[in-house]
Amino acid sequence: MLHTASILHRHATPGLPLILLLLAGCPDKDEGFVFKLPSIAIPSPSCPNQSIGSAPPSLSAKDYTVRVTFLQRKPGKVTAANIRNHYNTACWRVIPPGVPLDFLVPEGTQQPYTVVIDAFKNRELHYAGRAEQMTIGASGTGTVFMRPTIKNIERYTDSAVTSTKRLGLSCVDTLLQCRAFHTATLLPNGEVLIYGGLKGDEQCNVTSNDTLSAVDTVEIYHPNYEGTRSFEVLTQKVPPRAFHQAMLLPSDPAGPYRLLLVGGLSGPAPTSPVVSVAAGTKPFMFTPLTNAVAATALLVTYDPGVANHGVHVKELTTLPQAMFPAVALRGNRLAMAGGAATFTATGPAAGFTGEKSLHWIDLREDGDPVESVQTLVTNNVRVGHALALLGDGDQIVLGGQMDGLNDQDGEYLPSASATSLTPFAVPRVPVITAPVACAVDSDCAAPTVCINLQCVTNMASVWHTLTPLGRTDKEIADGTYPIQALWAGGLVLTKKTDALRETGPAPEPRPQQQALAVVQKGLPPIVVSITTDNAGSALPGHFVTAGYHEAATLYDGSVLLVGGKLGHAGTACGVASPFCASNQIVIYAQVNNTLQLTSPATGYGWALSTPRMGHRLTRLLDNSVLITGGITLVGSAGQMLKSVELFNPRTGDPTEDVLGRASPTEAEQAPVGEICPSRYGE
């Protein structure tokens, strides 16, 4: 359910307009609250597979502590690196339950503010809303849409019905185009630009042996929309592509916004198929067709202030091209490693050919992005790999090796002056075919080796994630960068075919041991595997190994892992299908230098309403995470998704924001910024 907070204006004293906050909602839902004032009716999209509990009568305003913060943009360009801390706090106010919600805000002439509203009950965040660049003047109104951050859902256990609290997950409008393996890029005004991806047939269906085309449309997500839909498809067609990466370039806060698109696949014509769905018979579940090409880099310009939201696309032919590259951002420089130039449809993974190099691309404030003269030599052709930049710029590339026998190797930059990366062995717990006790490698039959007192086989990992871990937004904004990354999940290339990390005696495979490791800056990097029990099953609530999942670093330096492909056999879904996907939402954090699970146990906490793989995560300006598209299992076939979910990991604590807003109780913490006075001169 969506709720509105209307802001009305009148002058109480010269230069200080009165801001009267009105929070309103539907009276028939337990998540609603009403202040007996008019509201704007906003339809609430339904979430499949999510049962909302019965609602008590409408809640009184006095039940909520409301925190309102007014932010102002800093001068200068907004970049992907500073997009969340490009603000100063103008003022804030915490309004306890039962206290009038009218107060004064310092005003310039038609001064624009970003308005942030949080509503608490018993110091627990229940609703959050944010509107970018709202003009606070002597007249007029503004609207902030409040979304729930906590849900009461019904869970059925045998014949009993129990009600449990689910934090964070809420419904959002659907996409207008089903898509997977697209990009969804946060813009300075809080919107999200969604480009390309793969599409199914007209009903969004996809089956094994299908061929899939790339999407040629752009959608915009409007988080504070004033109409009946939060997604809008732009009228201009764009060059279709999928499996690409997108980065915000330095842009003016109000636009136009510039994005760099690198990597990915495209076809010879907009309708040409680019991949085949061939689980278990080709290198990857989504393998390029022979007519697919490595897509040319694009400069995409989007202007939200122009009628029909103009989009302009320019090819950047001087930048590197590659299918499935890995990228990582550091300041205004983008590192792009590996990927394939071509693929020959002979079947083996060795059919991929490409450059053995790591490129740096300078994201300039003015003019087109340009490739830096600093290009590093790598040792292998890598596809489906991952890249992390740790500490002061150490580059670490893991997995995806296509052209060597030592498949478990990663690569790292040994020194700032080095011109090539150095291989290193990755001691990651891999597939266990039949556990055999061992003390040394000679106790194991080739090609297995002894790891953790068991004979196992190290194989190349693909479609995993390598996500910076352990530094907060504020630390990164101050120039202290992560020295660790969380390596999670992935599929394993066994005998040059695509198979998941699970195996065992026929007919039923058993889950692979936890595919989770912490990679730490070092010479060579230190890799610490995180395992579960000896039976190879994941502990309750932990990440279940998967490929084609998504990961994101959150405001506090923890790592969010969402969804993923669960395997060709599909036993986890009750049917043998390569489209079997997970609904998992898991968060890990570094606590006292130890990796700890901070999300609730599975079954009692967070879970997607729709299992999915090939989706995208976008961390919004309010620190919630938008989950768009992907592929799920329907019956025994796959379906490309339009569905969208919004996950809010926040509790409302001030440390969740770079600016450190006031706590939900006035006496708890000295705030940043000035208190907005009330009309009574408080």
What is the average pLDDT across 504-533?
60
Q: How far is CA 85 from CA 71, 224, 623, in A?
A: 10, 20, 12
pLDDT in tens, 204-231: 998 767 889 999 999 999 887 655 578 8
Residue 584 has pLDDT above 80, yes or no: yes
DSSP sequence for 443-461: GS-TT-EEETTEEEB--EE
* 488 SS3 class: strand
* 104 SS3 class: strand
57 falls in which pLDDT band (50, 70, 90)? very low
- Of residues 535 and 566, the one with the higher pLDDT is 566
What's the confidence (pLDDT) of residue 434? 52
- Taking every pair of C-alpha atoms in the chain, what is the biggest distance, in angstroms? 85
Residues 299, 319: contact at Cβ < 8 Å? no
Query: pTM for the full model?
Result: 0.85
Averaging pLDDT over each range in 92-101, 256-265, 649-658, 661-670, which range is the top one?
256-265
Radius of gyration of the chain (CA): 25
Averaging pLDDT over each range in 28-37, 398-407, 637-646, which range is the top one?
637-646
Residue the block writes with tokens 């009330």:
678
Residue 641 has pLDDT above 80, yes or no: yes
DSSP 572: G
Dist. CA 117–CA 70, nearest whole Å = 9
What's the confidence (pLDDT) of residue 110? 59
pLDDT in tens, 276-286: 887 666 778 88
All structural domains of the chain, each given as residue ranges with its CATH number in brackets, are 3-168+658-675 (no CATH), 169-647 (2.120.10.80)
What's the confidence (pLDDT) of residue 390? 92
Long-range contacts of 216-219 (CB under 8 A, 24+ apart): 216/240, 216/270, 217/177, 218/193, 218/194, 218/300, 218/302, 218/311, 219/175, 219/176, 219/177, 219/193, 219/194
DSSP 475: H
Tokens coding 50: 């999510």
What's the confidence (pLDDT) of residue 40? 24
What's the confidence (pLDDT) of residue 484? 93
Strand residue runs (E) in 96-249? 102-104, 111-121, 124-136, 142-148, 150-157, 160-167, 169-171, 183-186, 192-195, 198-199, 205-206, 211-214, 218-221, 231-233, 245-248
Residues 302, 309: contact at Cβ < 8 Å? yes
What's the confidence (pLDDT) of residue 672? 46
User: Which among 362, 409, 361, 404 is positioned nearest to 385, based on CA atoms?
Assistant: 409
Sign of torsion over alpha carbons 258, 262, 265, 267: positive
What is the average pLDDT across 192-210?
89
User: Which among 415, 361, 405 is positioned nearest to 379, based on CA atoms?
Assistant: 405
Dist. CA 206–CA 208, nearest whole Å = 7
What's the confidence (pLDDT) of residue 64? 74
